[in-house]
Amino acid sequence: MSEGDSIGESVHGKPSMVYRFFTRLGQIYQSWLDKSTPYTAVRWIVTLGLSFIYMIRVYLLQGWYIVTYALGIYHLNLFIAFLSPKVDPSLMEDSDDGPSLPTKQNEEFRPFIRRLPEFKFWHSATKGILVAMACTFFEAFNVPVFWPILVMYFIMLFCITMKRQIKHMIKYRYIPFTHGKRKYKGKEDVGKTFAS
């Protein structure tokens, strides 16, 4: 291997300027992602705002329905992964190794672990909206279709998919939304003390 063959290195062994630029850009992007992690509501409000802007753009341009349909299918796929457990209980029926969801009242509490965590769900959904928005700037993605058929097909697909997911949740007795461990109240303090 010659001196300048490794990725991102120039002929003299130092990283190239382009490589350093994109590495620094990636670090800044990751820093902003890390800073946004605790602000769940704000992140989702921004994503809903971007989605609203995208819908207005598609409505005003009267086109790019295939891109919108693909975005809807992508978001449905992310949502199903968000609602699904990391370890599928149907696969765990035959084997006893590994953790499983509690099925009886006296079993130990185990939190619901998602296949797609909330942050990755938000990040992927937002990136999907931005990519779809970028596609609306190119006429090549404006395929002429009869959009009511796409809407009806998407609604049908959504209903069938959610019905299957809800049946799976009922069959294996899990709820994808947990709020932590139960907190029990002790006896109320009446404020009276005994004096002897």
> Could you report the per-residue pLDDT of 102-138, keeping only the tens digit for each?
556 666 656 678 889 999 999 999 999 999 999 999 9
Statement: residue 62 has pLDDT above 80: yes
For residue 142, the model assigns a pLDDT of 93
Domain membership of residue 145 (yes or no) is: yes
Res 33: pLDDT: 92
> Per-residue confidence at 1, pLDDT binned at 50, 70, 90?
very low
Tell me, yes or no, whether 62 lies in a domain: yes
> What φ, ψ does residue 15 adopt, rounded to 5°?
-60, 140
The verdict on residue 123 lying in a domain is yes
Report yes or no on 183 lying in a domain: no
Residue 195 lies in a domain: no
C-alpha separations of 38 from 43, 51, 81, 186 in Å: 9, 21, 22, 32
> Which residue has better confidence, 89 or 117?
117
Provide the mean pLDDT of the chain.
83
From 150, 158, 79, 142, select the one nearest 115 (Cα to Cα): 79
Structural domain boundaries enclosing 158:
42-88+111-170
Number of domains in the chain: 1
Kindly state whether residue 20 falls inside one of the protein's structural domains.
no
- Calculate mean pLDDT across residues 62-90: 91
**Can you give the pTM of this predicted structure?**
0.74
Domain-embedded: residue 153: yes
Asked whether residue 25 is assigned to any structural domain, the reply reads: no
